[in-house]
Amino acid sequence: MNLWARTLRQLAVLAVALFFFSCEDDTSILGFKNPNKKLKVNFVDIPVESSVLLMDSLRTSNYYLSQGETNRLLVGKYNDDLFGEVSSNAITQFFTTSTAVTQFESGAVFDSVSLQLRFDFYSYGSLGFTPQTISVHEVENELMIDSLAYYFNKSNTPYNPTPLGTKTFAILPESFQEYINERKDTTITISLPLDAAFGQRIFDSAIKYRNATSTADSAFVNVSAFVKQFKGIAVVANDGDKVVGFNPSATASRITLHYHDTDTDSLQAHLSFTGVISYNQIKSNRSSTALAGLNQYSQPFTPDNNLRYIQAGTGTLTRLDFSRFYEFVDQDTNSTMIVNSAELHLGIPESTTYPQINVLSLRAITGEGHLKKIASRETNPAQYMADSTSLSLYAGQLGLAGNMFTPMSASGTMYTITQADSIHYNGFLTLFAQQLFKKEEHKVRFKYFALIPEDPQIAKSVNRLAFHEQNIKLRVYYTRPNEPTQ
């Protein structure tokens, strides 16, 4: 190699090195003196470039892959100085419960109809005991019961603008949090009367079933026929400063028909929200914030205030770029390097009075900005085989969560980032970093990852976080054999 070429190569290595802060360390990560002087123990803080990404679709429907997934109706609105106005409406079908299938007695007469919703003690927004106003509307378009996986935060189901009923109520988030912390089995509901004509139509369907002379008369007990006649309700946020959660699976969440017959007053029949389609339509207005330019799905956006944003419910994510990690490990001088430990640091989040996200995870992102999902075995078998091969080459350190590629932890569970010291967000991903380091034929080396809210769940909450971009780094401890002395 001539002098000119050697000089260029040295300059290139120096330019890469300037990206990082590196240090030789005569101690191991546990603080013990390095017993093997043939190995250099070093660490390097690799800056992780980042941006903000908006998911193109976030499924918010309930009762789909429901094992371990929260079923929740989110209703309300609040203003956030960092994220703007956030609002959520809940759309849900309803159907008769097992106790309501019993045919009404002869002489039964409709009296009224009401809606009850049980709080699940989730709330987000103002911490004060302040009024919240919601309204209930009848849905105008049929929800497709075989399309449960395809209702998202951006889905739009039209509803009649004339409300069936309205309700103003107040909650104290501090009390709700106490119920959660103490795991109290407490039932607190709101109840509001609905338009009598709406209830009369449902009651008439029950009477028609009682007097049925054909299958067509039995819509009251046939869910596919029932939801064509009664398409559902929308619970809409009108005014307030909180988003609250209701439990659609609870027995206490229901529509109640009040009626009497010739022998008894104050009889009731119930319709529930369990097992039918329900989802949350979650919107945000970021026009007055640093996120005003975040309006294209799957396109990296860099706010001008050096903050990186994550918000559940709206699909606002922070995108991480691991390119500099690859630049570091691919240097010729690191060809024999061993990664001993790797820890992703996000730093201290921007101060807020709102509850933060407790747990974050990572998802791989394609070059087009979409979350990487495994292809369908049925519709795209060739890509499915390629994806399966890619997963296998990571030796169990890359798995699937909701069909999306996600790094795994040393224990074999999903890799997560938490506030280990109640201040800083960080998490070790040593084994995954070791797999990223290895070059193998047909192995996809993923560069981009998204930070995903896990607790509370991304699709059933609106919690948020913001980090300073300069604090996001990957700290890598590594060993490298010493060059033999001549």
Q: What percent of the chain has pLDDT over 90?
A: 71
> Residue 299: how many CB atoms within 10 A of its CB?
16
Instruction: Identify how many contiguous H helices and E strands the chain contains and give both numbers.
Output: 7, 26
Q: Are 241 and 170 in contact (CB under 8 A)?
A: no
| Interval 143-149 mean pLDDT | 75
Alpha carbon distance 319, 449 (integer Å): 6
What is the rounded CA–CA span in Å between residue 130 and residue 316?
A: 27
User: Cα–Cα distance between 106 and 92 in angstroms, integer?
Assistant: 31
Determine the pLDDT at residue 99.
Answer: 59
Quote the Cα angle for 39-44-50, to 5°.
Answer: 150
Q: Which two tokens stand for residue 417?
A: 């980032």
| pLDDT score of 278 more than 50 | yes
Pick left, alpha or beta for residue 67 (phi over 0 → left; psi -120 to 50 → alpha; otherwise beta). beta
Euclidean distance between the first and the last CA atom of the chain, given in angstroms as a whole number? 21
Residue 153 near residue 280 (C-beta atoms within 8 A)? yes
SS3 224: helix
pLDDT of residue 39: 60
What pTM was computed for the model? 0.87
Q: Give the torsion sign (CA, 219, 221, 225, 228).
A: positive
Helix, strand, coil percent values for the chain (each to nearest 5)? 20, 40, 40
**Looking at residues 383-405, what average pLDDT do you find?**
92
- What span, in angstroms and rounded, lies between the C-alpha atoms of 55 and 123? 23
Predicted local confidence at residue 40, as pLDDT: 67
The pLDDT assigned to 13 comes to 41
At 410, the pLDDT band (50, 70, 90 cuts) reads confident
Strand positions, DSSP E, 290-402: 307-311, 316-321, 338-347, 359-365, 398-401
Q: What is the pLDDT of residues 211-249, one digit of tens each?
A: 988 888 999 999 999 999 999 999 999 999 999 999 999
Residue with the larger pLDDT of the pair 326 and 182: 326
pLDDT tens-digit readout, 51-65: 999 998 899 999 876
CA dist 356 → 129, 206, 461 (Å): 20, 47, 11
Angle formed at CA 9 by CA 4 and CA 11, multiple of 5 degrees: 95
pLDDT digit string, tens, across residues 422-474: 789 999 999 999 999 988 877 888 999 999 999 999 999 999 999 999 999 99
